[in-house]
Amino acid sequence: MENKTSQDEETLDKGWKSAQSLRSDLKSGVRDDVKVQDSDLGVGNLLRRIPLFSRRKSRSLVNRIIWLLLIWSVVVYILGVAGLWWSSSKVIEDNFSQQAADWVGKLDEMGTPLYAANDEFLFQSIEDQVRRFPEIAYLRYYEAEKNTVIAQYVSIKAAEHKIPRLTPVIIEKLRLNIDSEEPVSIHTAEDGLSLFQVAAPIVTRSIRSDSMLDFDLDESTAETYKIIGYLELGLDFSHYNEKLIENIVIGSVGVAILFFIAAIFGRILIKRSLRPLTNMRKPLEQLARGKIDVHVKSEGDEEIVAIANALNTTIKALKSRDEELLRLANYDALTGLLNKHNFNIQLKQEVQRVISENDSSALLFIDLDQFKHVNDNLGHAAGDRLLKQVADLLKNRIRTDDVISRFGGDEFTIIAKSIKEQDARIIAASILKAMQQFVFVENGQAFNIYCSIGVVLFESDDFNAEEVFSQADMSCFHAKSEGRNRYHMFDLTEQEELRKSADISWSKRISDAIQNDYFTLFYQPVVSLKGDKSEHYEVLLRMVMEDDEIIHPNAFLPAAERLGVAIDIDYWVVRNALRKISELKADGRDVYLSINLSGRIFEATNLIEKIKRYISQYNVETDHIIFEITEQTAVRHIEKASETINKLVALGCRFALDDFGVGFSSFNYLKRLPVDILKIDGDFISDMVKDPVDQAMVKSMIQIAKTLNKKITAEYVQDAATLEMLKQFGADYVQGFYLGKPSRNISRQVYDEALKHIDTNILTF
């Protein structure tokens, strides 16, 4: 049965705010940083990904540039020093090769007399001469025949090491090298010495003794060579290496000082150059947090100015977008008055203010009497012009502090603040008189447009905002019933008498309907968007009058609630729905039914036993039964609802939470209820294609359902565009007149037609 109870005013907790507060806060204008997900330009999300504005610890751009320059300079310097060391070592080595050759030639000439005279004083003169050159580490003269040292000089540094004599292998090489002018390199010193060692033969040359007359200048054997000894020389180039290292160290210190000074001045210069960019940090951090009331200064180099101008343009676009969204969310696009949702918020705030300040205010509900005639005969454009003129007329009849809205198609509401009953009557009469004098002219035709007004005074905490509005609505209906073009002041006693009279009348009708099966069930297709072809319907209750008139449950369920017979209606619906499943099963049909339960069902003491009996009686598979309760009902009876649902789930039944998103329910409550399906309230779906706020709400609720591993059903699907959008958002099931209207019979043909709509729409993606 379609039991739509009044909305509960529950406080939103943090978990549920991700969905519900997006709609309520945006449309009330209480948040400046609201973003509609589908139209979000994404600047805040983009900036949060930039390291400078991320939550991770960031570093200064100036310091980063300085460090990069320093590191690169050190790398270049190390490479330069390495290259200098390598090239210098090669130069020293080449230089010593040349020096060795020169020294060998000199020492050959100086030492040759030693082999002839064997004079100790002669070698002493040689030693005195080489001692003046620190690069000469040692000098040895060898006798050729005996391979013994006949004279040697060893420096103090070289004396600390044992330098081996020439080996036979090297001597043999020297013998073979007699014709070469280059000495032979050797390496026989210990690793502790850095020596360049060479050896060369000491050779004497002679001319063959012949008569002068037989002398032939071209004869190759005219000159002979004889090795009389060997020369071994060791040159020490460590002194040059030490000097090279010393100079490199001194140069490095000097370069480091220059780098340090350059880094200080470079940091100052870079910081000064990048100051316009660093000045952007604070406004950009605010922008990244969603605050768009910032301005970025345009200064510095042309690239930075271009960035600043682009950001300011983006910020301006964001401001314009948010202003437009707030305007669309809070105001009626046609008349510029507050819209329905925002007016409801204003009414709740005014009711609270009246209670806290012990004041009194009035609510006026105004319904145009001839609007439908104008709209049908002159077209919607003329109807829109009429509504604009009426809106201007009403705005001129209220005070500055009063609140006016376009509540519906041709309905207007006014909150007249801080007035008594007599003042409320004067305002209503004034509006009636102004409307009676108003003439709407269109295409040369003049129309008198009258209105009916319901007035209610609220001055205590006896009624909440919804009840106050309901009283104004009933008063307007009363004014229409009395002949229109008048106002009616709400009278509680009068309304109570009318309601009691109506309840007495409905009591007999409901009792007869239960006993005589004057109720009937209608079935509306619920179709899967995920490829499931099994038949699924929602069970809807109707009452059949004697003249076959079909009565909607909204007419009799409130009376049934007050009379305490709603539970009996629930049992009738459950029993007949399960019987229908059994009948379809016998015909070979596999059908799932969703059955609505009233809020009174949780007061029943024998609910589980009766449902068990019905299941057994009709031999129904429990997973084919889906019970539905409204979100408000579940929250209002959270403990009992959770207990009852758990028991029914234990039987194998499933549960759906109807009117999801309307009742301001807590996210924690939702987690506590073991429901399988969430049914989004139709108010969010009906205008979703045109309303970006509803789109964001529906998308958020679907995301929450996915997080909780629950299915989503969207009702009130009226057109293909809505169906496509729900498919894109990820809804699981859909129902509505576009797919199939409620019918007394469960027709597979009707269900197949609904499936065709789904398949056709899926192909368009």
Q: Which of 356, 386, 392 is closest to 373 using CA atoms?
A: 386
- Residue 86's CATH number: 3.30.450.20
Joined tokens for residue 298 = 């345009």
Quote the CA–CA distance of 358 and 418 in Å, as a whole number: 10
Is residue 25 assigned to a domain?
Answer: no
Has residue 17 been placed in a domain? Answer: no
pLDDT digits (tens, 9 = 90+) for 659-698: 887 654 555 677 778 889 999 888 888 888 888 888 888 8
In a domain, 360, yes or no: yes
Q: Choose the final residue of a domain: 447, 465, 490.
A: 490
Domain annotation covers residue 611: yes
What pLDDT digit, counting tens, does each position of 536-576 carry?
999 999 988 766 778 888 778 877 877 778 888 899 999 99
40-49, 120-129, 148-157, 467-476: which has the minimum mean pLDDT?
40-49
Amino acid letter, 685: I
Q: Assess whether 230 and 103 both reside in one domain.
A: yes
Residues 538, 674 share a domain = yes
- Asked if residue 164 and residue 313 are part of one domain, the reply reads no
The pLDDT value recorded for residue 361 is 94
Q: Do 465 and 593 share a domain, yes or no?
A: no
| Cα three-residue angle 366-370-376, rounded to 5 degrees | 125
Distance separating the N- and C-terminal Cα atoms of the chain: 35
* pLDDT single digits (tens) 691-744: 888 888 888 889 888 888 889 999 999 889 999 999 999 999 999 989 988 998
Boundary-marking domain end, from 261, 292, 327: 327
pLDDT of residue 594: 94
- Is residue 12's pLDDT more than 50? no
587 in any annotated domain: yes
Is 613 contained in some domain? yes
Average pLDDT, the chain: 79
Q: What is the DSSP-derived secondary structure letter of residue 214?
A: G
pTM of the model: 0.44
Instruction: Please tell me the distance from the alpha carbon of residue 547 to that of residue 424, in angstroms, as a whole number.
Output: 43
pLDDT tens-digit map of 383-435: 889 999 999 999 988 888 899 999 888 899 999 999 999 999 999 999 999 99
Q: Which amino acid is at 734?
A: V
Q: Is residue 624's pLDDT more than 60?
A: yes
708 in a structural domain = yes
**Residue 422 and residue 550 in one domain:** no
User: Is 253 a domain residue?
Assistant: no
Which residues are marked as active site? 410
**Do 310 and 347 fall into the same domain?**
no
Closest CA to 394 of 330, 339, 335: 335
Q: Which residue has the tokens 């705010």?
A: 17
Higher-confidence residue: 208 or 76?
A: 76
Q: What is the rounded CA–CA span in Å between residue 430 and residue 414?
A: 13
Please report, for the chain, how many H helices and E strands are present, in that order. 26, 22
Q: How many CB atoms lie within 10 A of CB 202?
A: 23
Q: What is the CATH number of the domain that holds 405?
A: 3.30.70.270
Span 733-762, mean pLDDT?
Answer: 84
State how far the alpha carbon of 238 is from the alpha carbons of 86, 134, 198, in Å. 15, 10, 17
Task: Identify the band that residue 527 occupies on the pLDDT scale cut at 50, 70 and 90.
Answer: very high
- CATH classification at residue 654: 3.20.20.450
Tokens of 106: 């000199």
What phi and psi, each to the nearest 5 degrees, are found at residue 311?
Answer: -65, -40
Residues 294 and 171 in one domain: no
- 368 bridge partner residues: 451
Domain termination residue (choose one: 266, 297, 327): 327
How many CA atoms does the CB half-sphere of 622 hold within 13 Å?
16
For residues 142 and 197, membership in a common domain is answered with yes
> What pLDDT is recorded for position 664?
47
Number of domains in the chain: 4
List the domain range (segments joined by +) for residue 313: 279-327
Contacts of 6 (CB under 8 A, 6+ apart): 466, 467, 632
Q: Packing angle between helix 302-330 and helix 238-278, nearest 10 degrees?
A: 40
The 10s digit of each residue's pLDDT in 274-318 is 777 777 778 877 777 777 777 877 777 777 788 888 888 888 887
Tens digit of pLDDT for each residue in 78-134? 887 787 777 776 776 677 777 777 888 888 878 777 777 666 677 788 888 888 888
The verdict on 541 and 437 lying in the same domain is: no
Q: Quote the pLDDT of residue 484.
A: 87
Give yes or no for residue 216 having a pLDDT over 70.
Answer: no
Is there a single domain that holds both residue 368 and residue 235?
no
Around Cβ 415, how many Cβ atoms within 10 Å?
A: 23
Residue 142 pLDDT more than 50?
yes
Verify that 735 and 751 share a domain, yes or no. yes
* Residues pairing with 591 in the sheet: 535
Half-sphere exposure of 286 (CA within 13 A, CB side): 13
Does the pLDDT at position 503 exceed 60? no
Same-domain pairing of 623 and 718: yes
Q: How confident is the model at residue 494 (pLDDT cuts 50, 70, 90)?
A: low
